[in-house]
């Protein structure tokens, strides 16, 4: 059983809809991420939260809006998406430390949310 | 800039045989971590194995081992005794430091295990 859970697993939405993806991590980690995986493209980092503060936003369109209410939960709010936004959205978490260790560097992923925009 | 290269888009292996998935990377940093993930068709990205740049011994985790050649900047994944359930996409990834938020991924290799 994965330590990072995502809901819903599948979502179909129209371009005018508003929906949200939810992520919860049960690992006690201090950093959470949203990644986008499109067909035939490498994983793209969208957002990073460390200690509940956003530390990185890789020029993601404003129709994607993240929210991190606490260290265990992460949301991705979706609004007026385009068909090209259809992809697998992966949530992840890690316990980031200054030292070098497997636990301090590994990013653990959830099962992903398959999004289709029609 | 970091770059991860996986030159094998697809690989086939007979059940119970070993297979090597290639990965090369490019970085000027001295401290970094190398990772392999497995992604079945369901979508979940499953962590398999980790190798630190300062680790002198190759990492092993059950049937997975990482053939780390630092001078060549390669980190190949070896899967021994392949099973049908090993059929999936495999991604090599690198992270420079714990404070580097982005983990860079290769394009992946699709492994198919034949019965």
Place of tokens 């690989």: B11
- Is the per-residue pLDDT at A7 higher than 90? yes
Mutate: best of B55, B68, B89, B98, partner A, most A CBs <10 A: B98
Q: How many CA atoms lie within 13 A of B28 on its CB side?
A: 1
Residue of B nearest to A48 (CA): B101
Residue B23's pLDDT band (boundaries 50, 70, 90)? very high
pLDDT in tens, B72-99: 999 999 999 999 999 999 999 998 865 5
Does residue A83 sit in helix, strand or coil?
Answer: helix
State the residue for tokens 């067909």: A39
Contact call for residues A48 and A33 (beta carbons, < 8 A): yes
Euclidean distance between CA atoms A114 and A112, whole angstroms: 6
CA geometry: angle A68, A72, A73, nearest 5 deg: 40
The pLDDT value recorded for residue B99 is: 55
Task: Compute CA distances A114 → A9, A60, A106, B56, B110, whole Å.
Answer: 6, 18, 23, 40, 20
Whether A31 contacts chain B with CB within 8 A? yes
Q: How many Å apart are CA B77 and CA B33, to the nearest integer? A: 14
Which pLDDT tens digit goes with each residue over B61-76? 999 999 999 999 999 9
Nearest chain A Cα to B59, which residue? A102
A5-14, A17-26, A43-52: which range is least confident on average? Answer: A43-52
How far does the CA of residue A98 sit from the closest CA of chain B (Å)?
6
Residues 40-59 in A contacting B (C-alpha not used; CB under 8 Å): 42-43, 45, 48, 50, 55-56, 58
Per-residue tokens: B44: 């979940």
Which of B9, B34, B35, B44 to mutate to probe the A interface, most A CBs <10 Å? B44
Residue A57 has pLDDT above 90, yes or no: no
């Amino acid at each position: 059983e994965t330590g990072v859970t995502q809901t819903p697993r599948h979502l179909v939405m129209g371009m005018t809809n508003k929906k949200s993806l939810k992520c919860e991590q049960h690992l006690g980690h201090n950093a959470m991420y949203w990644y986008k995986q499109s067909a035939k493209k490498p994983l793209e980092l969208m957002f990073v939260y460390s200690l509940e503060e956003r530390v990185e936003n890789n020029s993601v369109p404003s129709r994607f809006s993240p929210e991190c209410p606490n260290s265990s939960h992460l949301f991705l709010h979706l609004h007026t998406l385009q068909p090209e936004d259809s992809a697998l959205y992966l949530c992840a978490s890690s316990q980031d430390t200054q030292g070098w260790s497997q636990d301090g560097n590994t990013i653990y992923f959830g099962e992903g949310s398959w999004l289709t925009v029609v | 800039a970091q770059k991860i290269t996986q030159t094998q888009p697809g690989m086939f292996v007979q059940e119970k045989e070993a297979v090597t998935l290639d990965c090369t990377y490019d970085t000027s940093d001295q401290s970094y971590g190398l990772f392999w993930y497995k992604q079945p068709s369901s979508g979940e990205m499953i962590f398999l194995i980790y190798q630190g740049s300062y680790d002198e011994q190759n990492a092993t985790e059950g049937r997975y081992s990482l053939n780390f050649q630092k001078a060549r900047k390669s980190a190949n994944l070896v899967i021994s005794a392949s099973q049908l359930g090993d059929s999936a996409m495999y991604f090599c990834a690198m992270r420079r430091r714990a404070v580097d938020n982005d983990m860079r991924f290769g394009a992946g290799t699709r492994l198919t295990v034949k019965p």
